[in-house]
């Protein structure tokens, strides 16, 4: 019985060690791939574009939307 428990514990630690090593190697591989991608394919910075205000939105529409939001919040 004692020998079986010892073998079970050894097997458990061996399996946990293998899984831990695999995860460490996986993290290293992902970080290496990320650094390679950023080195060979850098992001192109695009200038920020300001969207023009819609000319169709009149003051009456803005007032109606404001009144609807105010009435909804008052409930």
- The domain limits of the chain are 1-40
Measure Cα distances from 59 to 21, 67, 72, 73 in Å.
65, 12, 20, 21
3-state helix, strand, coil in the chain (%, to 5): 75, 0, 25
42 alpha carbon, distance to own chain's centre: 19
pLDDT tens digits for range 35-55: 999 999 888 888 877 766 655
pTM of the complete model: 0.53
pLDDT value of residue 47? 80
């Amino acid at each position: 019985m004692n020998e079986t428990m010892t073998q079970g514990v050894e097997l458990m630690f061996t399996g946990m060690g293998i899984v831990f090593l695999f995860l460490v190697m996986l993290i290293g591989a992902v970080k290496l791939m990320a650094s390679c991608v950023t080195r060979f394919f850098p992001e192109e910075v695009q200038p920020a574009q300001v969207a023009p205000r819609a000319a169709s939105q009149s003051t009456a529409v803005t007032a109606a939307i404001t009144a609807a939001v105010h009435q909804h919040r008052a409930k």
